[in-house]
Amino acid sequence: MLGDVRVRSQVGFEPERRSSHPYLCIDFRTLHTRLGCGSTSASSAPERRVHRLLSFQRYLHSSRLLRGVPQQIPLHILDEDYTGQARCMLEKVGNWNFDIFLFDRLTNGNSLITLTFHLLNQYGLVELYQLDMVKLWRFLVMVQEDYHSDNPYHNAVHAADVTQAMYCYMREPMLAKSLTSRDILLGLLAAATHDLDHPGVNQPFLIKTDHYLATLYRNTSVLENHHWKSAVGLLRETGLFSHLPAEDSLNMERELGSLILATDISRQNDYLSKFRLHLDQENLCLSNASHRHFLLQMALKCADICNPCRPWELSKQWSEKVTKEFFQQGDIEKKHKLEVSPLCDRVANTVGNIQIGFMTYVAEPLFAEWARFSDTRLSQTMLGHMGLNKASWSGLQQEQTSVSEEVEPSTAGTDVEDAAAQKDGNTGGTSSKEIPQGSRES
């Protein structure tokens, strides 16, 4: 099942790239370590083998520990004042204007761990499923570590934001009265892990660079499959569900994958058409487990792209972050003389036009159908924010266009006036006012 696990025989290896470019190191691997291999002085020491499923990011940290290098990051010890403020924020975690950026600062960069643990505990899932607290905490820490903090957008803060949005959706009346504890557990875990070990580039990039993940998953939902298998790897490594019957554990892994795979934006129209058909025929039955699962898929899709529906102060930050990640990919493609992916060229695109297009063709159709399903104050608030945000980006676009148009004529006018003055000095004939008119006509 864990098809993207790589095998290595010693610590300190160079990541295998399999015809991909050298800046992509996102492979999972089983790490086998032998201390003192080939050394006489160390040959009497007991041989140690360490078997761990590691993302590349966590491998670097773990290999330092195996070599005896001290940890670079101290244990997370929060000031009591900050802890108190974070706790106060958690009391309002169901508010749509929840500021995940502030919460991440108040938790010393541990927003995903703190938020997910709080929600699991609030729903009583830790006690209900008899989850071992040490295993759960270890799982959440490893999940957060496996998000790449150097990604401008696809990082642990985004995962925490999606998890908070998912919580808001699951509290909506249509779902709150129907979801089972299993549904809620899977919904929260899927939100927390939906972009696990994201490399900061998109699927077309992995395909055109012949990355091994693209080959492994046959160019279909490449990233989403990797996120899912990475999440399963951590569940098994920590043994979070090891106390459950094997069949139940496997079923939960499969359902988790079904939710994460639904976030593939290339399949947006498929899910949206199915959702629209259900709503048109009014045949959604929330007592049906498959229908509830489908609604969880739609809720996670909404949560994943809900940034345009947040208040402007939050939405604008997310827009800038995702565009920065797009442009970074475009810069890499230019550097390696690859065709630049759509929306990734910083010369041809702006934050505003990318966001306006995304809202028009992706977000608005999805959230309009969600509002048909759940016509609540939250749905209307989201649509309202999206309309205002779209108008704000349009206004900024017009301002930028006006400024650029003013700069260009003024520069051109200066050049023309200089030429006119020079001509007046030489001929004493034509006035400086007549030259620009003739220039504009030509």
Q: List active site positions.
A: 154
Could you give the 3-state DSSP secondary structure of residue 412? helix
* Tokens linked to 297: 């898929």
Q: Which helix (H) or strand (E) holds 100?
A: helix 100-106
Phi, psi (rounded to 5 degrees) for 402: -65, -45
Nearest alpha carbon to residue 368 among 355, 351, 354, 387: 387
Q: Which amino acid is at 354?
A: I
HSE on the CB side for 80, CA within 13 Å?
0
Separation of alpha carbons 229 and 55, rounded Å: 11
Nearest alpha carbon to residue 227 among 252, 251, 259: 259
Separation of alpha carbons 222 and 23, rounded Å: 18
How far lies 347's CA from each of 211, 332, 350, 357, 442, in Å? 27, 14, 8, 17, 29
Separation of alpha carbons 257 and 337, rounded Å: 35
Separation of alpha carbons 58 and 196, rounded Å: 12
Q: Which amino acid is at 380?
A: Q
CA–CA–CA angle 299, 303, 305 (5° rounding): 120
* Tokens linked to 187: 């919904």
On whether the CB atoms of residues 193 and 143 are closer than 8 A, the answer is: yes
Burial class of residue 66 (count of CB atoms within 10 Å of its CB; 0-12, 13-18, 19+): middle
DSSP per residue, 288-344: SHHHHHHHHHHHHHHHHT-GGGS-HHHHHHHHHHHHHHHHHHHHHHHHTTPPPPTT-
How far lies 432's CA from each of 209, 251, 408, 411, 420, in Å? 58, 82, 19, 16, 5
